[in-house]
Structure 1
Amino acid sequence: MSRRDLIDPELRPILDALLEAMPGGFNAVPDIVQRRAAVDAMNSGVELPDNPNVAKEDRTIPGPDGEPDLTVRIYRPVNAEGTVPGIFYIHGGGMIMGSVQGEDATATLLCDQIGAVVVSVEYRLSPEHPHPAPVEDCYAGLVWMAKNAGELGFDPDRLAIYGASAGGGLTIATALIARDRGGPALTFMMPIYPMIDDTNTSASSEEIADIGVWDRAGNIEAWGWYLGGKPADQYAAPTRAQDLTGLPPAFIDVGTVDLFRDEDIAFAQRLMAAGVPTELHVHPGSYHAGENLAPDSALARRIWAGRLDALRRALA
């Protein structure tokens, strides 16, 4: 039996269509500029109607000390009553791709369904800007959001951080920095199938080599670009963190046919051992970001129901 045979039947057709249009998947495009353009073209091809319940605003904010300013997109629930919670949002893309616009639909969904102010950060990408530029941008955005809670209209005592894939790794790394630098305080973190281990030595890293969505070779390449030839620290690869105490309660989910499966399960176990309240979901048949490629599948509906329920409970 091949790994592809383990994929949920509803998630196979869209993956087959993707691979037919782009043999080998996105990571088969060798030039990073062309690869980004291919991803952007796919995202721009999905036209979604404006959500009348969500107001959006792009704003320029200060970056890390001595570094360029950042762009953030602010999402506010239109009909919110009273002070609402906040969610700091970090997009995915392997530290080398992705954008605020590319994940606009997900950030809008969180704002609408949770009734939260969401701030999504446009951090610098590798290889042009290797570690620590991306995570320092994320931390600067989080600091700005927390400092401006009053103007943004959310409760700073109910502030969560959310991200998937590379955004999940940056979510944990940013939470580690916030812990180590004395704030901002975080109520909750939701790293979704996070990219956290630069060693690529787990069993699932070896297994997931030809699914077509974020396979082993692409992951190794991305880590090389992100680290820029330097050794990883805990803020680059959170699996290297020796001390996980003091991190906010966590929710992690990952699929059984995801390259990050084993590193994420092991990290969740370490969080639990460190006394961090942690909820872990492992979804049979789901490949990396499968719920986004097949959003109408029963599996995707189950995945999103679990995430939204956890956020509501954490930010109530």
Structure 2
Amino acid sequence: MGSRDAPDTINELRPSIAERLDPVYLDIYNRYQASRPRCDQVPYEIYNVDKEAYSFPTYKVTGPRPEVASNTIYHVPVSHPAGEVEVQVYAPTSEAVSSGGLANHEGRLPALINFHGGGFVIGDLNSDEPLVRQLCQRTGCVVVNADYRTAPEFPHPTSVLDSWDVLKWVFVNAEKLNIDPSRVAVSGLSAGGCIAAVLSILARDDPTLPPLKLQLLIVPLFDVRYVPVEGSCKGGPYESYVSNEFAPMLPLSRLVWFYNYWLGTGPDREERAKDFRASPLLAESHENLAPSSIRAAEVDPLVSEAKVYHEKLQAAGTQSSIKIYRGQGHTFPQWDGLNPGSKEFVEDCINDLKEAFKL
């Protein structure tokens, strides 16, 4: 896989990429991103001084933000290293609970624990706020939207260990949060999808936890061994690293930037990448995991490994479905204010949760 020249302007799309994109997705990209610098085009220290200047204005393209009954911030202690992270617990209105029909005989609700994306370097509780509000209200479930500490200050494996502490905290506090512990699912977008997949493995192996009902994995990453420290991908099994190297929103160069801060560039990079907590594809077993729903984008470097992970789960006997959204690129799930493909994605997620949580 030889190196190819980068585009000439900040975020110029090659014709071979642009012609594969859904016209609405392409229009949104050209309007809101093409003239903006990305975080991966500067050192982290510069990005960190003015994050907004290097961030896509997601608030301009997101869907509705329905009112919920409450959204409460909790400070959850974490242990690797010791500290705390914030989680925001969304509770649906009584009308949504009644409409959803998911409360058990004690009035407890199922819960989705969501982990945001951002390459383990950027992102926060606001990243998925419109989506989690919709999932909470339209499904009639509790949503625990979780933050975690990120690189470069907290490289791998802190993010996933923080998230594991959050998952266990939810079960310990299920009664306080009005959650039915027998109906808990995990979800995440991009890096958050990797975290959700890893937590599904950890939860299966912890006999103190009830089985998870679903792992909802959104434009996720599953195998980080083949992203280079610099340049183009020189080898490996994932065709989409080549065909989608210059894809919108997540070109390979952006993955390089994320992974270099998250996994490092030193001699232990290879070992970190082989850790199943970074590459859940490499777990010893994929048997008896929570059912998986993988929702991938066609024009995304990560789509090939999504297909491989789906096949891996099925081969192990774990229930898995995958949907690849035609003409969509990375982060399309957050564009449902303007993009029909994104609206379809939201409806699909609501249906996933209703099916997983039904009494």
When normalised by structure 1's length, the TM-score is 0.92
Letter of the structure 1 residue corresponding to residue 17 of structure 2: R
Q: Distance in 2 between matches of 1:158 and 1:169?
A: 21
Query: C-alpha displacement at 1:41, in angstroms?
Result: 7.6
Letter of the structure 2 residue corresponding to residue 163 of structure 1: G
Which consecutive residues of structure 1, in runs of 5 or more, have no partner in the other structure?
A: none
- For 1:128, the equivalent position in structure 2 comes to 153
Letter of the structure 2 residue corresponding to residue 134 of structure 1: S
- For 2:287, the equivalent position in structure 1 comes to 245
Larger fraction in helix = 1
Q: Out of 13, 22, 29, which is 1:8 matched to?
A: 22
Which piece of structure 1 moves more, 126-135 or 207-216?
Answer: 207-216
- For 1:218, the equivalent position in structure 2 comes to 254
Say if 2:67 is the partner of 1:52: yes
* SS in structure 1 of the partner of residue 33 of structure 2: helix
Letter of the structure 1 residue corresponding to residue 82 of structure 2: E
* SS in structure 1 of the partner of residue 130 of structure 2: helix
- For 2:31, the equivalent position in structure 1 comes to 17
Q: Distance in 2 between matches of 1:255 and 1:124?
A: 26
Q: Distance in 2 between matches of 1:66 and 1:106?
A: 30
Q: Distance in 1 between matches of 2:65 and 2:349?
A: 23
Q: Distance in 2 between matches of 1:152 and 1:12?
A: 41
Query: C-alpha displacement at 1:305, in angstroms?
Result: 1.6
Q: Distance in 2 between matches of 1:262 and 1:183?
A: 34
Structure having the higher Rg:
2
Query: C-alpha displacement at 1:26, in angstroms?
Result: 4.0
Q: Distance in 2 between matches of 1:264 and 1:97?
A: 22
Query: C-alpha displacement at 1:99, in angstroms?
Result: 0.3
When normalised by structure 2's length, the TM-score is 0.82
* SS in structure 1 of the partner of residue 295 of structure 2: strand
Which consecutive residues of structure 2, in runs of 5 or more, have no partner in the other structure?
A: 1-14, 99-106, 228-235
- For 2:215, the equivalent position in structure 1 comes to 189
- For 2:232, the equivalent position in structure 1 comes to none
- For 1:63, the equivalent position in structure 2 comes to 78
Query: C-alpha displacement at 1:18, in angstroms?
Result: 2.7
Indicate if the aligned counterparts of 2:61 and 2:335 stay in contact, CA closer than 8 A. Answer: no
- For 1:28, the equivalent position in structure 2 comes to 41
- For 1:139, the equivalent position in structure 2 comes to 164
Query: C-alpha displacement at 1:64, in angstroms?
Result: 2.4
Which piece of structure 1 moves more, 147-156 or 41-50?
Answer: 41-50
Letter of the structure 2 residue corresponding to residue 266 of structure 1: V
* SS in structure 1 of the partner of residue 79 of structure 2: coil
Q: Distance in 2 between matches of 1:240 and 1:17?
A: 39
Which piece of structure 1 moves more, 133-142 or 114-123?
Answer: 114-123
* SS in structure 2 of the partner of residue 306 of structure 1: helix
Query: C-alpha displacement at 1:246, in angstroms?
Result: 2.0
Which piece of structure 1 moves more, 93-102 or 300-309?
Answer: 300-309
* SS in structure 2 of the partner of residue 296 of structure 1: coil
